[in-house]
Amino acid sequence: MSAQLLDRVDVFKRLRAACKAAGGQAKWAERHDLSPAHVSEVLNAKRDPGPAVLDALGLKRVVKFAEVRRVNG
């Protein structure tokens, strides 16, 4: 079974839901040893979710490639 791939919006939704469930951004950040400012910057798209945020959400970044044109030889 392959893992579900998420886009950036899905990650933001998960982070927002996790913060809400924890009682707020500051509480979630503290629980995961992150600064509230860092979490706020991620939620406001000023910073990409890095390894610490992704790890806390149980996610990892995956790079994919797609063929856009066929290269001969």
Domains: count for the chain: 1
Cβ neighbours of 50 (radius 10 Å): 12
| Predicted TM-score (pTM) above 0.85 | no
Residue-number span of the structural domain to which 62 is assigned = 1-73
CATH assignment at residue 45: 1.10.260
pLDDT at residue number 2 = 61
Does residue 11 contact residue 49 with C-beta atoms inside 8 Å? yes
Residue 1: its pLDDT value, please?
45
pLDDT of residue 72: 74
List % helix, strand, coil for the chain (3-state, nearest 5): 50, 0, 50
Averaged in consecutive runs of 10 residues, what is the pLDDT profile of the chain (73 residues)? 82 97 98 97 95 97 87 69
